[in-house]
Each structure stands twice: as structure tokens, then as C-alpha cells.
Structure 1
Amino acid sequence: MKRRNLGWLLLGSLLSSSAWAESQLNLTKGVTDVSQNVYELHMLVMWICTVIGVVVFGAMFWSMIFHRKSKGAKPASFHESTKVEILWTAIPILILIGMAWPATTTLIDMEDNSNSDITVQVTGSQWKWHYKYFDQGIEFYSVLSTPKSQFDNRDGDNGEKWSNENYLLEVDKPLVIPVNRKVRFLITSDDVIHSWWVPAFAVKQDANPGFINEAWTKVNEPGIYRGQCAELCGKDHGYMPIVVDVRSEVDYELWVNEQKIAMTKAAEAEAQSLTAKLPMEELMALGEQTYAAHCAACHQPTGLGLPPAFPALKGSELATAPSKLGEHIDVVFNGRSGTGMQGYGKQLSLKEIAAVVTYERNAWDNNTGQAVQPADVKFIVDGTDGASISDATPVVEEAAVETPVAAAEVNLDDLSMDELMSKGEEVYNASCAACHQASGAGMPPAFPALKGSPIATGDVNAHISMVVDGKPGTAMMGFAAQLSPQEMAAVITYERNAWGNSTGDMVQAKDVAK
């Protein structure tokens, strides 16, 4: 009797909701209303399935035990019953409706991105996350902070990392959001498919290159919440964590102000670096540090790479030929399409890019003697011929770099309307259609429509300014560093006359150059 009572006690404790909630094998309840709904839906369906399983298997085993042949049971001979047929069709339908109703309600809630207080663009790339706050003008990259020497066992110390419950789940800059405010996420990718997943929020959304997926959250409790990329996105997929720091509204506003001050200081430091001439020793030290943090995972600390996906830099023509210096800078800043090499222009300062290029051209016995300055990087990325820097102003340790003062010649010739429309359509499809769509319908509210919009049918000077300089606090970036005045003039003309806009405006390169 005691054993029977103990068995029932154990069974009851295992099946209790609190035991299931605390079990590591169960879903977590999370810290949002949606995550709570998902948990309750999961438990409801689990108990329905459990009851069905107990009834079905109970009837089966009871029949096998008490109606077996050894007990003299005779098989019954009967035909189907219409009433039974109706019952075992109706009951499953009612059960499915009972599960579908809360499931549908929860799914609708998960997709309702309306009335958000904050919008954050989340962009995945190998292997980090980029966060951009549309309403604050704040953006930054979030990268795994665990040293590579620790997670590939090169330091031989396993004790510390295994004792850290957040091993491989720490980043240098977490995403910061306020408590009790609806945050909308626009999720995309720079390269391959990623997946932004934070279990405590019940948010898991694919980041697809060329597409914008949406999600949202409203967190009820301040704290640190962690997640990971949930899509196999490459060799370092396991080193792409997500950390969200949920703060009180007061602390969040303080953080926003701190970020704006830091961005202002960074911009000032960037401007000052353009007139500085750094010694080789400082460039090499900063370059080695930058290379270890951002390049060594693919190109290896030895510079030997992992061919063919990640070519060697040691002894390579790109990193040793004087005539390739401009191309080398351009590849580090803008990346190389069609390969695994991404651009670091948005992630690193001009000083860091100059330093890492200097390091790559002088480490591992490359020994070119070239010391690249931030002004040289600025000179290349502003649209100058990539090879001219090495030909016109060789940069070597013994000779300081003279900052180039003249840009390449710019074509300001006028074009006819047909030429502008043809060239504009080509530029639009290459640079604008991914966000504003080929039809000009956009993807509001992040990427507003151009068809019939005030910006494309109103003041032409405002339209030019938008394309040239972008619009702070939105996803609209300036194209002055990517397109020539003639290309910008053409695409503006196209936008003002395509899709029925028909303003008749012809914008020329000289209008943009003003």
C-alpha cells in the first residue's frame, strides 16, 4: 500500500504544472505576453495529446488484457455503426477547433507590428549582428566578445570557460531596449540566411538577404536576455550570439544620450585622423589588434587563409604589389561581391582600416614598407581610381604621406531625357529597388513608396538632397560616396518620371554637384 501511494505521489508531482514549468526539458515561459501565450498554448496542446494518448492506449491495453484468447474471449461480429462513425469524426474536429482557436489568436498577435514605439533594423552578416535605431540615428555592430584563442582551445585553459554559464553568449555591444515599450524589428541580412532568435521573447525570424522580415516584442521585466543565430550560416555559425539588455525607461534614455555623445566624439576623432600621420609602429600595433578581432577567423592569424573560400594574404599579390594598394583598401572597405569578403567600412573607423591594411602589407614577411594613413583610405573610398594612390603618392615608412588634394575628374555633361531615364532605371534597379521595389511601391513604413510620393513629385532640391545625403534616423542612406553626380541625376530623374509620377523634371549632374 505504501509503495502504491508513493507511486501515485511521484506521478502526480511529475504531471503537475509547476514541475513541468521548472523542468529543463520544457519550454520557458519567457518575459513577454506573447511568450506567455506561446507557453500556455504549448501546455494546452500537450495535455490534450496526453489525454488522447492515455484514453487510446488505455483502451487498447485494457482490451488486450481482458479480452485475450487465453481467457476465452470470442471475437465479436458486427458491422459499422453510423452513430460511431459520426462520433469519431466529430470529436477530432472539435478537438482541432479547440486547439486552432488559441493558436490562431497567438499567431495573429505575433504578427501584429502596429503601433510600435521603437523600430530597430537587425542585419545579420558573417558572423555578427548590426543594429540600427531608426528614430535615434544610432547604429552599431554586436560581435562575440569571447577571445578566439579561448574557444578554439589555443590557450589550453578549459576550466574558466566551462564554469561560465554564458560561454560563447557574450558580446561587446548588446542591443538595448526599454521595458514596457513595443519594439519593432526589421530583420534582414547582408550575405547569407541567418535567423534572429531570442527564446525569452518568443521571437525567431529569418534574416534573408534582399528581404525584410518583421517581428516585435514588448518585454515586461528588465534584465539581460540571450539568444543565438538559429540558422546554419557558415563556419562560425556557433559564434554569433544575441544579447538584449532591457532597461528601465529612464536608464534607456540615459543610454541613448550616451550613444549620441559617443557618436559625436567618434565623428570628431575620425575628422582629426584625416590630418594625422601615424608612425608605422602605431599602425602595426592597431592593425594587429584589428586583424585578430575581425580578420583572423577567416584568413587565420598566420595569414595563410583557408583557400579557396578565404585566400591567403601572406605573399599574395593583393597584399604585396604596390600597384594593388588602392584595390587592397577598397576590398577591406567595401568587400568583394560574390565572395565571403564583406566590407568593413561601416564597422571600422578610417584609422582602423588604414592600420589593418598596413599590418597585412607588412606582416608575415610581406614587408612592403607601406604605411597607409586614414587620409589615404578616404581618398580611395571617395571614388578615386583605386591604383592612383600607389602610383602618385607612394606611402612608405620613411616618407610621410601627402594627402591627395584633387579628386578624379567628374563627368558633368548634360544628358537628354531618354538618356537620363535609361541610365536612371539601370541605377535604380541596382541600388534602390531592393528597398523601394521595382514598382516604386516600397515597403512602408521602413521604406516608403516613391510612386506618387511628395518627395518624388514635390521640391526637386529636397529630392536631390535626400539621394545625396540620405535622411538621418531612417533607413535612407546617402549615395554621394557610391554614385557619381551623373548617376544620381539620372536616378532622380527616373524616380520623378516613372510609375506615373510624370513631373517632366530633368535633373543634370551639375544640379547634383551644387
Structure 2
Amino acid sequence: MSLNLTKGVTEVSRDVYDLHMLVLYICTAIGVVVFGAMFWSMVFHRKSKGFKPATFHESTKVEILWTAIPVVILIAMAVPATTTLIDMENNDDADITIQVTGSQWKWHYKYFDQDLEFYSVLSTPRDQYENQDGTSAEKGENYLLEVDRPLVIPTNKKVRFVITSDDVIHAWWVPAFAVKQDANPGFINEAWTKVDDPGVYRGQCAELCGKDHGFMPIVVEVKSEADYAIWLDEQKALKANAKAAEAASLNASVPLEELMQLGETTYTAYCAACHQVSGQGLPPAFPALKGSAVATTGPASEHIDIVFNGKAGTGMQGYGKQLSLKEIAAVVTYERNAWGNNTGDAVQAADVQAASGSAGASVTETVKQAVEDVKEQVTEVIADIVPAEDLSKVYSQDELMTMGEEVYMTACAACHQASGEGMAPVFPGLKGSAIATGDVAVHLDMVLNGSKKNPAMAAFASQLTKTQIAAVVTYERNAWGNNTGDLVQPADVAASAK
């Protein structure tokens, strides 16, 4: 029925549907019995038929019955409800983990088991929904529920979603999966799905997240395992091509006309929602670009910096990890020459690189590459620190701290930072953390075996020697003011590894 819940396409979604129907049938039966008895009593015991009201008070049997029966009914509903809720929260043994990050107003997907991440943006043409002049284009089949790049997952695999936000509270909601989880800035929520059949499934942000809340759709394309493998290969090829094009753009001099065309397309897709197609903005939250100091009289380098890195304390987010250097160059050129600004500036990709200090890659890309480099280099680099391992040797605190700092800077600092403050929420801080100041056994287990809750935390048992692990755990427990006084020795690591 069109007014009822849908069964969805996962086992959990069908369990939710069955639970809903069970409760509906129980409530319907209770309603029929209660209202049936009430109306029967009113009709057949009315005054016009000569009935006189009875004069009785409490009945112990009735009190017990109308207390016991509802309790039994509630238990009958609570058992399947609890089972379903436990299944919905069980994220164990996931085959794939994907980080989902809400951002005004788009979704960012990152595959933890692949070197792959991308943004998913509404692709419905603006002329279908703006309607500013009283007319609008004919609406498409998937009006406001279509994106430029859908999330892609395989069938018959348990996919775990690690959900957070860059700015305000969003909510990732796909009804067909029975998944609806808040995306809170600074926190990580989890959900999962396992889809049986290929198809395209759509959802939306289900939290009032700002002016373009209604333009933040979710599209998930479920492919067969074979097609998913092909898709992954295609994405790797696209990424390689994009890197090659990015490198080529640094030496290219693109004509102003071409920059304006690309800039207008990019501006419409990423900037017009806030600053408007006309460039007049929505003050005070989203200032106008038409005739503004930033886009006219200010130096192009400052304009590039704002587009690339964003502006703290405002709604202006950084686009350095969303757009290529060429696209940023084009959109800055467009903003400096559209709406009568007419500065004549033709910004090139090399100008963006120089002004942003990106050196061809954003900070995020640099960190990610550093992590990959660590995996390849850590064994040979760290081996120089402790040439031979003697598990019976007892090291002094100074020796452990010196060695631990070298290991940490090589194997850990790319994610948790040299200062120990991390990059929340994916890479939590170690400075003052419960892990680094709490139970040593838990800390050792985390470094040895990684984290089941956060796949970004790799296991180092096969990458570091036991002496190196003892040193780095000692360092983390005593650096940055942690000062636990704990000295972990190689024998302790060996015992924990068992």
C-alpha cells in the first residue's frame, strides 16, 4: 500500500517492516476490542431501554486483569523489537567500511579499504527548482533525488558506514536499507547494510541542516560483486587520469574564455547555492561577490586562499580537497570577471598552487600519501632504530622515550600528529586520551592488533618489532604531558601478543 512502510531490500529493513506490521495488528486488535465493548455497552445498556446504572466500586480481579494483560502485550512486542534493534546496531565483521561525511550541502564518501574518496553533489538542474521568474523547466524523473556521483557498494557484502559531519548536524537516511543515522560534527556514529539485489536506492538528509537542506540527496548504486570490482578499477583509472591532468594543468596557460566557461559551470554547481547565480549572495551569512572587495580590488592570491582553504568563523568552506587546481583557477577567474567585476585576471592552476601552498596536493592528500608511504617504508626505516631484538633486555626510560619518539614520528605522526592532537574524528588525539593514560594492556592491544571500531587504526604487530612497539607505547604514555610513568618493555609486548 502506498501509505504503508516499504519492506526495503535488506534483511534488517524487512525485520523492521514485520515489526511495524506486528505492532499495527496488535494495536488494531486492541482498538477493535476496546471500542467494540464501549459502543456495545452504550447501545445495549442505554437509559431508553430501561437500564439503570450499577453502583459498584473496585474489583480486584478486574484490576489484576487490566494490569497483567497490557504487560503481557508489551512483552510480546518488546522481544522482537529488542532483537531487531540489536541487529541494527551490530557492526561486527564488516567486509567494507565507508566513511560518510555530511557537509553543507553535499556528502563526502571515503572507502577505507581502497584509496578512493569523492563528493556526491545534487545534479538536478537549477532551472528545475529555482522558479525565480514564475516558470521552471519540466521536472525530471528523479527530481531532487539525483547526484553527480552515487555511492557504489557490492551485493552480498556487509558494508559498515562510519558517519560524521564537517559542520552542522546532518542525517544519512536511505529508507530501503532501514538506515537513518545522525551525522554530528566531532562525533562518529555507525550503521551498516547488506543488500541482496543490485539496484539504485535513494534517500535524503533527514536533519534540518540549513538553507539547502532539501538539496542534499543520497543515491546508492548496488552492483554485483563482479561489476563492483570493475567499477573500482575504473575509479583507479579515473584517479590516475585526474592526477595526470592536474600535473599538465600546472604548465598550461588556459585562455580567459575557456576559464570563464569552466568557471561558470563550477560556480553554478558549488557556489551558487550560497552566493546566488547573480553573485548577489544572501547577506549577512553569504556575502555578495558582485562588486565585492575580495573579487575586484583585492589581490587574486587572497581570493584563491579563501576558495582553497575557506574562511574560519563563516559558512565559507574550503574547496581544496573538492576541486582540482584548474577548477579553482577557473572559478576564481569567473568570480573576478562576472557580473561586471571585469578585473581581467586570468588565474591559472600554477597560480592556485603558489597561492595555496598546496604543492600540487591538498593537506588531506599529503597526509593520506604519507600514510601509504609509511606502510612501504616503516619496516626498513624502523629496523635501523633497533638493529637486533633482545626480548629479555630491560631499557631505561630515556632509551625507550628516545627510541619511541623516532618510531612515533615515522609510523604514527602522519595520522595522530607530532603534537599528539590527532585529526578528529577519524584519527583521535592521544594527548590526554583514555587510551594513552588508561590501562596499558588496552593500549598495547590497540597498537598490536588495530581497532575493530575504527579501521583507520592499523595493526602494527607485523610492521614493528616488539621492542619498537614497547618504545612507542612508552612514548605515547609519557609524552605531551601524559606522564603516566609507565615503562613498557619488549617482554611485556611479547606477553601481550600471546
Band of TM-score, shorter chain: 0.7 to 0.9
Deviation at 1:375, TM superposition (A): 1.3
CA distance in structure 1 between the aligned counterparts of 2:465 and 2:314, rounded to whole angstroms: 35
Match among 207, 210, 234 for residue 231 of structure 1:
207
CA distance in structure 2 between the aligned counterparts of 1:277 and 1:498, rounded to whole angstroms: 55
Matched residue SS, 1:436: coil
Match in the other structure for 1:368: 343
Deviation at 1:129, TM superposition (A): 0.7
CA distance in structure 1 between the aligned counterparts of 2:25 and 2:209, rounded to whole angstroms: 36
C-alpha distance 248-450 of structure 1, shift in aligned 2 (>3 A): closer
CA distance in structure 2 between the aligned counterparts of 1:345 and 1:429, rounded to whole angstroms: 22
CA distance in structure 2 between the aligned counterparts of 1:320 and 1:335, rounded to whole angstroms: 18
Gaps of 5+ in 2: 360-401, 406-415, 436-445, 490-498
Match in the other structure for 1:243: 219
C-alpha distance 159-316 of structure 1, shift in aligned 2 (>3 A): closer
Letter in 2 for 1:351: K
Question: Do the aligned partners of 1:210 and 1:434 also contact (CA within 8 Å) in 2?
Answer: no
Question: Do the aligned partners of 2:127 and 2:136 also contact (CA within 8 Å) in 1?
Answer: no
Deviation at 1:368, TM superposition (A): 2.2
Deviation at 1:446, TM superposition (A): 3.3
Letter in 1 for 2:323: L
Residue 313 (structure 2) pairs with residue 321 (structure 1): no
Match in the other structure for 2:494: none
Letter in 1 for 2:188: I
Gaps of 5+ in 1: 1-22, 385-416, 464-489, 505-514
Match in the other structure for 1:436: 428
Please give the residue correspondences for 1:494-513 in structure 2 after superposition, counting only pairs within 5 Å.
Answer: 494=479
CA distance in structure 1 between the aligned counterparts of 2:188 and 2:200, rounded to whole angstroms: 26
Match in the other structure for 1:104: 82
C-alpha deviations, 1:443-489, integer Å up to 9, x for none?
Answer: 732353999998899759x99xxxxxxxxxxxxxxxxxxxxxxxxxx
Deviation at 1:431, TM superposition (A): 4.1
Deviation at 1:342, TM superposition (A): 1.0
Match in the other structure for 2:177: 201
C-alpha distance 50-175 of structure 1, shift in aligned 2 (>3 A): same
Match in the other structure for 1:306: 282
C-alpha distance 31-147 of structure 1, shift in aligned 2 (>3 A): same
Match in the other structure for 1:50: 28
TM-score scaled by length of structure 1: 0.74
Match in the other structure for 2:48: 70
CA distance in structure 1 between the aligned counterparts of 2:7 and 2:356, rounded to whole angstroms: 49
Matched residue SS, 2:337: coil
CA distance in structure 2 between the aligned counterparts of 1:183 and 1:433, rounded to whole angstroms: 20
C-alpha distance 378-447 of structure 1, shift in aligned 2 (>3 A): same
C-alpha distance 274-159 of structure 1, shift in aligned 2 (>3 A): closer
C-alpha distance 453-500 of structure 1, shift in aligned 2 (>3 A): farther
Match in the other structure for 1:357: 332
Match among 245, 249, 267 for residue 291 of structure 1:
267
CA distance in structure 2 between the aligned counterparts of 1:454 and 1:494, rounded to whole angstroms: 22
Please give the residue correspondences for 1:60-459 in structure 2 after superposition, counting only pairs within 5 Å.
Answer: 60-153=38-131, 158=136, 160-161=138-139, 164-322=140-298, 324-382=299-357, 427-429=419-421, 431-432=423-424, 435-437=427-429, 438-439=432-433, 441=435, 444-448=453-457
CA distance in structure 2 between the aligned counterparts of 1:450 and 1:492, rounded to whole angstroms: 18
CA distance in structure 2 between the aligned counterparts of 1:493 and 1:362, rounded to whole angstroms: 55
Deviation at 1:319, TM superposition (A): 1.5
C-alpha distance 154-222 of structure 1, shift in aligned 2 (>3 A): same
Question: Do the aligned partners of 1:452 and 1:500 also contact (CA within 8 Å) in 2?
Answer: no
Match in the other structure for 1:397: none
C-alpha distance 454-88 of structure 1, shift in aligned 2 (>3 A): farther
Matched residue SS, 2:180: strand
Letter in 1 for 2:314: T
C-alpha distance 430-299 of structure 1, shift in aligned 2 (>3 A): farther
Question: Do the aligned partners of 1:197 and 1:227 also contact (CA within 8 Å) in 2?
Answer: yes
Deviates more, 1:230-239 or 1:442-451: 442-451
Deviation at 1:136, TM superposition (A): 1.2
C-alpha distance 272-202 of structure 1, shift in aligned 2 (>3 A): same
CA distance in structure 2 between the aligned counterparts of 1:91 and 1:282, rounded to whole angstroms: 75
Question: Do the aligned partners of 1:451 and 1:500 also contact (CA within 8 Å) in 2?
Answer: no
C-alpha distance 494-365 of structure 1, shift in aligned 2 (>3 A): farther
Question: Do the aligned partners of 2:128 and 2:137 also contact (CA within 8 Å) in 1?
Answer: no
Letter in 1 for 2:34: V
C-alpha distance 493-452 of structure 1, shift in aligned 2 (>3 A): farther
Deviation at 1:430, TM superposition (A): 7.4
Matched residue SS, 1:99: helix
Question: Do the aligned partners of 1:440 and 1:451 also contact (CA within 8 Å) in 2?
Answer: no
CA distance in structure 1 between the aligned counterparts of 2:23 and 2:270, rounded to whole angstroms: 46
C-alpha deviations, 1:115-144, integer Å up to 9, x for none?
Answer: 111111111111111111110111111111
Match in the other structure for 2:410: none
Question: Do the aligned partners of 2:417 and 2:423 also contact (CA within 8 Å) in 1?
Answer: no
Question: Do the aligned partners of 2:170 and 2:209 also contact (CA within 8 Å) in 1?
Answer: yes
Letter in 1 for 2:94: S
Length, aligned pairs only: 417
CA distance in structure 1 between the aligned counterparts of 2:425 and 2:466, rounded to whole angstroms: 18
CA distance in structure 2 between the aligned counterparts of 1:491 and 1:290, rounded to whole angstroms: 44
C-alpha distance 379-255 of structure 1, shift in aligned 2 (>3 A): same
Cα RMSD after superposing both structures = 3.3
Matched residue SS, 1:116: coil
CA distance in structure 1 between the aligned counterparts of 2:133 and 2:123, rounded to whole angstroms: 16
Name the % identity: 67
Question: Do the aligned partners of 1:126 and 1:233 also contact (CA within 8 Å) in 2?
Answer: yes
TM-score scaled by length of structure 2: 0.76
